Every structure is written in C-alpha cells, then in structure tokens.
Structure 1
Amino acid sequence: MKKLFAEFFGTYWLVFGGCGSAIFAAGIPNLGIGFMGVALAFGLTVLTMAYAVGHISGGHFNPAVSFGLCAGGRFPIKDLLPYIIAQCIGAIAAAGTLYAIASGKTGFIIDNAKAGAFASNGFDAFSPEGYSMESAFIAEFVLTLFFLLVILGATDKFANGKFAGIAIGLALTLIHLISIPITNTSVNPARSLSQALFVGGEPLSQVWLFWFAPILGAIAAGIIYKNILQNNSES
C-alpha cells in the first residue's frame, strides 16, 4: 500500500504542478511563465517526487512508465494494474483540486471548444498549433520512447543512481519544450485523462491517442533497452 500511496502522491504532484502552472501562470500578461515555464514545471514535479518517494515505489507517476518498465523487465506485471489505478486516481484528484481553485475566480469557465483548455491534450483543431492526429501520434510515441530510454538508462544498476532524478526531470522538461505546440504534451496517460474528464467534449473523445501512443512508445523502449542497450552482464 505504501507503494500505491507514493504513486498517488507523485502523480498528484505532477498534475497539480505541471497542469497548474499552465492553467494559472502561463498566460499572465507580461509576468506569465509561458510554455518554457510550464515545461520546467513538469520537469521539476518529477525531479522532486523522484527524490521524495521514488525510493518507495520506483517513482513511475505515469502508466506509460509502468508499462515500459514492465516491458524492460524492471517491473512485475502483477503490480501493473494497481499502479495504473493509483496513478489515475492521483491525477484526477489533482485535476479536481485545480478545478476547485480555478472556480474561485470570477468568470472562470472551461471552453471545451478551445485547444488546450484546462491544460488538456489534443490534435487537429485541439492541437495548440493545429497538428494532425498522425503528427500527434508520432510525437507522443517517439517522445515517450526516449523518455523511457532515459529512465531505463539512468536507473540502470551500472549508472550513477544518485543523479537519475535529475536526468529524468530534465528529460521531461525537454519533451515539453518540443511538444507543447504539437499536443500540449502528454507522454502520460493519467495526466491526459484527468484534464480531459473536466473538459469533456472533443478533448475527452481524443484522449484515446494519449493512452495508446505513449504506452506503445514506452513498451518499444522497454524492449529496445532490454534487448539492445542493456549490459549483457545483467542477464
């Protein structure tokens, strides 16, 4: 249970900090942090929670990461579903908290016809810069694949594990710097689901891509690392 609580709190912090920065701080005229600040916020959430609770649960905070580690032989398949449930509950709880805070501002409303509403992900008209479904799929697949390669490499027993959290956090920052204009960046099915549930409409109907592409990319990374990159002496 401690592991599941760690995943709950880690995913909660990721969504609250990352999506919260996009909702509250990104667009303030002259003082807003912009998408570069949002990218850094997502990276910082993972970095801080990796050191806070990573030693308890492994610090996944993301269903795609759990799938990728499972495919790479680093995580038992029997724990996959409980982890995903804990992650999704944490993400939804964080989105609910963000909604409660945002609702305290006069005139607050979620416009589910607007790209990126409530930090949601999307493609076509719901992509921040109008990228197609195919572009969104490729971006989410490739970026999640490389995110998992970083995670698998940084946490390898031959790597310097003390710096793993830094490498992983910076990787997630870089991923957001690349893909916020494309999909508003997912690489995390729980993060996508939580925001889409509160937005509804087309963003919710598109959330399938932000489960399918990241999970496929993560599984591919796990297979690649285990069979091509991993030191043979580990086998």
Structure 2
Amino acid sequence: MRRTARLATAAVASLALAFPVAAVTATSASAAPANGSATAADASTDVLARKAKKKIKLKKAKPGTHYGLAGNKITAQVRGKGKVTFTVNGTKVKKKIKKGKASFRLPAELGPGTYKVKAKYKKSKGTIKTIVWDSALNVNEANFTISLSTPSYDYPDMVGTVKFKGKTPNTGYVDIYRDGKNKGGSGSPNYCCMDGVGEGGAFSFSGSYFLGKVAENGPGTYQYRAFYTPTSSFDEYIYSQWITVTVVP
C-alpha cells in the first residue's frame, strides 16, 4: 500500500512538472507570428515612404481658367537643382527650379475642357488636373471712328453677349476700362462706363454713353476693354478683345 501511494505521488509530481514546460513552449510559439507581423508592417511603411519620395507635389493657382485668357499656373515643389519637365496635351516644357519650386503657365490657346498636367524631375513624378471653361465676351464692333463734329446721339451703339463657364448668364455687369486697366474698379481713372447683363447674356452701350465719353478725350486713338463679372465684388471676370476708338475733329 505504501509503495502504491509513493508511485501515485511520483506520477502526480511528474505531471505537474510537465505542464509548465508545455505552457512556456506554447507561449513562445504564439509570440513568433506577432514579431513577424511587426516586421511586415515596418517593411510596408518603408515602401510607402519610398513611394512618397518619388511623388512631386503640384499646386494650381486657380481651380480653373477661361478660354482665351491667361492659362492656369501650375507649381511643382521639389528638392534639388535643375529643371522640371511639364507635359500637357502632348507638349513638353522644361522649367528651371528656383528655391525648391518650378512653375509653368498653361497656354491661353487651350480650348475648353479638362486637362491633366504631368511633372517629372529625375525619377519623381506628379499629376494634377485643371479646367479651361468655355467663356467669352463678344462685341458687335471692335473698331470705331467718330467725329467731334457729329452729335453724340448719332454715334453707333456697341452691343454684345456674354458666356460664362459654359452658360449664358442673365445677371452680372459689363464695365469698360481704357487701356484695359481695371484696377480700382469704378474708382479707377481709366473707368469709362457700365451696363447690366440681361436675358441671353446681352448688354448694350448707346453711342452717346460709351463713344460720347471717349469723344471727351479729344482727337486721337484710344483702346478699351470690356470686362464681365457675375457679382459686384469683381472677384472673377473675363474680358473682351481690344476695342479701338479713333476720334477725329
């Protein structure tokens, strides 16, 4: 009996010693995948960091520009010296890097539409989209000759229409400025006159109103431009071709 009890006690002790070892082994085995996952995450982060370094950050000066006017300005931010190659509509242009930036202005000849501008510097690349809106301010006549000996009420009218961002507006304003200098708005010494835009985007300047004011400058040849803005804030506008007025005695 005593021998049997001793054997039973020895067996229990043996089992007690075996279980802790197995537990340690299991814990060690389960920790291995965790270490492996951390290594994979670090590698993934490193790959993303390398890809980020190969991208050029591009910015555009405006959300979009108007057809026939100055194109949008695209700026690339890079580290290094040399030139950045810009590509738009199949045409490549190289611009020198100054203080970590290189800028490219899209040509005014681009027709209405959305364009993808690409930039490349060594192995780094970047892409940005910009839009050219279908906008226009047209007048019925761009060349006038008037005489001081003729009453201003006999001067011809100047009429026109406006298209803004592909649509025909029924509101807004058309202002005319000598030499196209519109800085200062109606307070500018170059301001001539204004008319509101009505149905169909139409506007009209009577002969005595526009040309009559030009005649006040005396004999000579003068140039003007008409500007359309949708709001009185004049935050955004388009303008016409040059309007030439010749005043004779």
TM-score range, shorter chain: under 0.3
Pick the structure with more helix per residue: 1
Q: With structure 2 as the length reference, what TM-score do the two structures score?
A: 0.20
Q: With structure 1 as the length reference, what TM-score do the two structures score?
A: 0.21
Pick the structure with more strand per residue: 2
Asked which structure has the greater CA Rg, the reply is: 2
